Amino acid sequence: MPKVQRDTDMVEIIAAARRYEHWAFEELYNRYADKLFRFLLLRVGSRTEAEDLVAMAFERVLQRIDTFKGKSVASFSAWIYQVARNLLIDHYRRKQKMETSPLENHRGTMADKSPGPAKRVEATESAQSLYDAISTLTPVQQQVVALKFFEGMSNAEIAAVVGKSEGAVKSLQHRALASLAKIMSAEEKS
């Protein structure tokens, strides 16, 4: 389906959700639940906690859909991620600590697509190295990397989610990638 058609469909779905039509919320859930789950799982590291946060996010979307003022798909996407981000902040406040390596639950996922055992071990080690490297980034850098490379968001969308300017997002992304390159390069040499 062409992007213009998908965007038109989403605008109609958002409008129906504002009228509290059940099918529209179901469609929003189908389109965003997995994305929010991945986003939250990367941050909290626990499948159960991520599932709970996704449920809470959609409950909040249902309660506050009338506060959404945007008119585009991109603005809705940024808004729903902002809802999830706010819940994540609340979650961290409740826990009184921040996970330093929430990416651990994804270890080995890159290896699942490798053909043989030797390739699988090599891919697992590469994925492990990458996740270890990502876990050394600051929390906001981890979030920018996750949204950009795991969720495929634009810098403008990421800026709306993290509450920073596009320039700040580009800078965070650049610093994060430079740090990752340095870490991975040093690891290859050792």
pLDDT along the chain (190 residues), means of 10: 61 90 93 92 86 94 88 83 88 65 49 53 64 82 85 87 91 91 80
Distance CA 74, CA 152 (A): 12
Provide the pLDDT for residue 161: 85
CATH class of this structure's domain 1-99: mainly alpha
Q: What is the pTM of this model?
A: 0.59
pLDDT of amino acid 168: 93
DSSP string, the chain: --HHHHHHHHHHHHHHHHTT-HHHHHHHHHHHHHHHHHHHHHHH--HHHHHHHHHHHHHHHHHHGGG----SHHHHHHHHHHHHHHHHHHHHHHHTS--S-GGGGGTTTTGGG-SSHHHHHHHHHHHHHHHHHHHTS-HHHHHHHIIIIIS---HHHHHHHHTS-HHHHHHHHHHHHHHHHHHHHHHHH-
Q: What is the pLDDT of residue 6?
A: 59
Domain ranges of the chain: 1-99
pLDDT value, residue 53: 95
